[in-house]
C-alpha cells in the first residue's frame, strides 16, 4: 500500500479510502466484515463513514456494523483511522441535524456509541450549514478535541470560499481548523478543478474525492450484460443523455486493454492535489481490483484522449474563463 499525509497533519493515510456507504444497505453485514478485514490486509488504514449511512435500513446502521467489526478485537480499531460525518437529519427532531454546537456534540457522542469507540479520529461536516456561525462550530469542535473525543475536523461538499472562511476563522481562534475535504470528483464531474482543489492546496487540506467512478457511469454501463448498475433507472437515464461520451470512453478502455472502472480510478489517482479517493466495493474481489489500480500508470497519450472525451475546465479559476 502507498501512503500520503493527511493534509498538513502528521498522520499518514492509505492512498485509497475504504468507503462504507454500502455496508448494511447494499451489502450484508458478514460480507462487510470480510471487506474490512481484506482492506486491513491490503494496508488500507483510512475508513470513511457517516451517521446517516444505512438510510432506509436505518440511519446509523452502517456505523453499528463498523462497531461490531471493531468489537471483534484483533487490533482492528488500533489499525484504522476512522472518519465519520454529521449534518444530515437523523430523526424528525428539528435540531437533530446541521452543524450547530448542539447537534455536533450529540452527533459525535451518538457515533462513538454506535461504533463502540472512545474517540473519532476525524469528524467531517457532511455539508455546509449556512445557519451555523463559524465561531459556534469551532467552539464545539475545540471542546471535543480538548475532551479527547475528536482528533481532526474535515469538510465535505463545501465550496472553496466555505473552506477559506472556515480556516481563516479557525486561525483567529488558534485552532487547527479543516485538514481535509471530500468533494465529488471523477472524469464525469471535474468542477472542483476550478476552485476547490486550488484552495485545498493553499490551506494544506487533503482532498478525499467521493464517487471517483461517476456513480457507476464509468464502469462499462453500456458494455455489461447484467449488473446492479444496469438496474438503476436514474443512472441509465443519465448515461443515455451523454451516450456518445460514454461509448467513446468505453471504446478507449477496450483499446488500451484496461477495465473501465480501473481507468477511471487510475486517472483520479494521478490527479494533482488528490490525496486518497474513496472506493466503495461491494465484494472482496472488487476491493482487490481497486487496490491493483495503484500499480496502473496511464501514459500521456491516454490522459490526453481522456481529456478530449471528458474535458475539464482547462485551468483553475479565473484563468479557466478569463485571463
Task: Name the DSSP letter for residue 192.
Answer: G
- Grid coordinates representing 106? 450529540
pLDDT level of residue 255 (50, 70, 90 thresholds)? very high
CA dist 256 to 113, 175, 241, 298, 299, Å?
Answer: 48, 48, 25, 10, 10
Distant-in-sequence, close-in-space partners of 240: CB < 8 Å, separation ≥ 6: none
Q: Report the C-alpha gap between 219 and 210 in whole angstroms.
A: 15
Name, in order, each residue with C-beta under 8 angstroms of 266's C-beta and a sequence gap of 6 or more: 258, 293, 296, 297, 298
Is the distance from CB of 62 to CB of 54 less than 8 angstroms? yes
pLDDT score recorded for residue 83: 98
- Interval 283-308 mean pLDDT: 97
Tell me which residues are annotated as active site: 53
Looking at the chain, the whole-number percentage of residues with pLDDT higher than 90 is 91
**In residues, how long is the chain?**
323
Q: Which residues pair with 46 in a beta bridge?
A: 81
Between CA 124 and CA 166 the distance in angstroms is: 13
Radius of gyration of the chain (CA): 20
- Band of the pLDDT at 323, cuts 50, 70, 90? very high
**216 grid coordinates:** 457507476
Question: Quick one: pLDDT at residue 229?
Answer: 56
| 22 close to 65: Cβ distance less than 8 angstroms | no
Please state the rounded mean pLDDT for residues 107-126: 98
CATH number of 3-216+273-299: 3.20.20.100
Hey, is 35 helix, strand or coil? Answer: helix
Cα–Cα distance, 221 to 201 (Å, whole number): 34
Query: Taking the domains of the chain in order of start, what are their residue ranges?
Result: 3-216+273-299
Amino acid at each position: 500500500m502507498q501512503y500520503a499525509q493527511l493534509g498538513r497533519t502528521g498522520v499518514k493515510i492509505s492512498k485509497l479510502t475504504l468507503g462504507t456507504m454500502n455496508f448494511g444497505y447494499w451489502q450484508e453485514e458478514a460480507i462487510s466484515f470480510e471487506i474490512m478485514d481484506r482492506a486491513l490486509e491490503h494496508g488500507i488504514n483510512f475508513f470513511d463513514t457517516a451517521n446517516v449511512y444505512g438510510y432506509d435500513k436505518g440511519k446509523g446502521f452502517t456505523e453499528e456494523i463498523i462497531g461490531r467489526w471493531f468489537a471483534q478485537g484483533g487490533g482492528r480499531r488500533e489499525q484504522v483511522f476512522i472518519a465519520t460525518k454529521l449534518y444530515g437529519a437523523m430523526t424528525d427532531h428539528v435540531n437533530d441535524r446541521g452543524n450547530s454546537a448542539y447537534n455536533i456534540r450529540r452527533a459525535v457522542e451518538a457515533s462513538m456509541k454506535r461504533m463502540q469507540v472512545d474517540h473519532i479520529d476525524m469528524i467531517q461536516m457532511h455539508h455546509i450549514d449556512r445557519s451555523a456561525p463559524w465561531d459556534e462550530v469551532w467552539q464545539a469542535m475545540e471542546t471535543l478535541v480538548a475532551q479527547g473525543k475528536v482528533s481532526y475536523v474535515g469538510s465535505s461538499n463545501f465550496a472553496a470560499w466555505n473552506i477559506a472562511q472556515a480556516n481563516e476563522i479557525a486561525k483567529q481562534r488558534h485552532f487547527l481548523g479543516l485538514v481535509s475535504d471530500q468533494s465529488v470528483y471523477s472524469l464525469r464531474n471535474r468542477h472542483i478543478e476550478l476552485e476547490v482543489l486550488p484552495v485545498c492546496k493553499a490551506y494544506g487540506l487533503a482532498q478525499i474525492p467521493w464517487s471517483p467512478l461517476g456513480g457507476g457511469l464509468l464502469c462499462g454501463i453500456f458494455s455489461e450484460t447484467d449488473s446492479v448498475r444496469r438496474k438503476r433507472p436514474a443512472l441509465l437515464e443519465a448515461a443515455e443523455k451523454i451516450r456518445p461520451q460514454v461509448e467513446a470512453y468505453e471504446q478507449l478502455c477496450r483499446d488500451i486493454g484496461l477495465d473501465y472502472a480501473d481507468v477511471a480510478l487510475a486517472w483520479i489517482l494521478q490527479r494533482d492535489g488528490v490525496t486518497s479517493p474513496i472506493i466503495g466495493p461491494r465484494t472482496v474481489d472488487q476491493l482487490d481490483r481497486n487496490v491493483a489500480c495503484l500499480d496502473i500508470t496511464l501514459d500521456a497519450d491516454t490522459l490526453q484522449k481522456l481529456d478530449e472525451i471528458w474535458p475539464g475546465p482547462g485551468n483553475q479559476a479565473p484563468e479557466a474563463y478569463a485571463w
